[in-house]
Amino acid sequence: MRVALFVTCVNDTLYPRTGRAVVSLLERLGVEVAFPQAQSCCGQPHFNTGYRHETEPLVRRFDAAFREYEYVVTPSGSCAAMVRDNYPRIGAKAAAEGRGRALAEAAARSVPKTYELTEFLVDVLGVTDVGAYFPHTVTYHPTCHGLRVLGLRDRPRRLLEHVKGLELRELPGAEECCGFGGTFAVKNAAVSAAMGADKAGHIEGTGAEAVCTVDNSCLMHIGGTLARRGSGIRPVHLAEILAATEEEPYA
């Protein structure tokens, strides 16, 4: 099984711990992980802000970087959704504009092999108990693109429920957007902040020590909001919880 990690630009630059956690988790499960250095960004910030043509080189780059791999695993629901949902659209539009089928073919190669981490664990590896240990109270926020575009459903939850020592706290209004939304967070800062404040309030209400998601971009907004409110609740990516064990606990 040739598995490549698509770490994403946000994790690469700001949250390398999450990338390292994915590597250690997958290796613990017997998966050999490669990290193609040619990878960078899925293009989501550009595409979702309206710059489709600026996205195209990044679609080609993704395809080229991962071409020789059977599986591409990424610790981000929204980046996986970008590849699976939007790459085909970008390819189709380029073809409709009379610029050939190359982008559409790049998209067609990328879509079936791209998996969000919890999909890869549950659907491909067939595991829900990954032998993790995390002796803390945790609440889980299902991020929108994982929830609605990928349809992750209860996969993250099932993984969390098998973590030794972890106590899962229900998050009220869990399925409501946290207000991040990429450039939305700055273009419509007031509404984004109001949504973030409501989400933070709900998280605080659970009394959990940590809030976890499958997307560090949303977590950057949620965690940043919690920190400004003086809350001690820690934002943690799901991969870091699953990577923690009794021998090598989360630090």
Partner 1 sequence: MSGTYLGMPAFPKAAREAVHDQTLRGNLRHATRTIRDKRARAVAELEDWPALRAAGRAVKDRTLRHLDRYLVQLEEAVTAAGGIVHWAADADEANRIVTHLVKATGESEVVKVKSMATQEIGLNEALEAEGIRAYETDLAELIVQLGEDRPSHILVPAIHRNRGEIRDIFARTMGEWGRPAPDGLTDSPAELAEAARLHLREKFLRAKVGISGANFMVAETGTLVVVESEGNGRMCLTLPETLISVVGIEKVVPTWQDLEVFLQLLPRSSTAERMNPYTSTWTGTTDGDGPQTFHLVLLDNGRTDTLADEVGRQALRCIRCSACLNVCPVYERAGGHAYGSVYPGPIGAILSPQLRGTQTEIDASLPYASSLCGACYEVCPVAIDIPEVLVHLRERVVEGGEVTRRGVRVTLKPAKGHAAERAAMRAARWTLDHPGALRAGQRLAARTRRVHPQRLPGPGRAWSDTRALPEVPEESFRHWWQRTRGGAR
- Using the minimum distance from each CB to partner 1, give the nearer residue, 124 or 193: 193
For residue 153, state whether it binds partner 1 (rule: CB under 8 A): no
Instruction: Provide the minimum distance between the beta carbon of 134 and partner 1 in the complex, in angstroms, as a whole number.
Output: 21
For residue 167, state whether it binds partner 1 (rule: CB under 8 A): no
Beta-carbon count within 10 A of 27 CB: 12
Torsion 44-151-181-7 (CA) sign: negative
Rounded to whole angstroms, how far apart are CA atoms 72 and 4?
5
Site for partner 1 in 22-61 (CB under 8 A): 34-41, 43, 45-55, 57-58, 61
For residue 12, state whether it binds partner 1 (rule: CB under 8 A): yes
Beta-carbon count within 10 A of 148 CB: 14
Take residue 112 and report the two structure tokens written for it. Answer: 């079936």
For residue 224, state whether it binds partner 1 (rule: CB under 8 A): yes
Candidate residues 108, 124, 127, 197; the one interacting with partner 1 per rule CB under 8 A: 197
Q: Are 118 and 71 in contact (CB under 8 A)?
A: no
Rounded to whole angstroms, how far apart are CA atoms 145 and 86?
12
Rounded to whole angstroms, how far apart are CA atoms 196 and 219?
10
For residue 15, state whether it binds partner 1 (rule: CB under 8 A): yes
- Using the minimum distance from each CB to partner 1, give the nearer residue, 114 or 217: 217
Amino acid 232 reads G
Q: Which residues bind partner 1 (CB under 8 A)?
A: 7, 9, 11-17, 19-20, 34-41, 43, 45-55, 57-58, 61, 86, 89, 96, 144-145, 148-149, 175-177, 179-197, 220-221, 223-225, 227-228
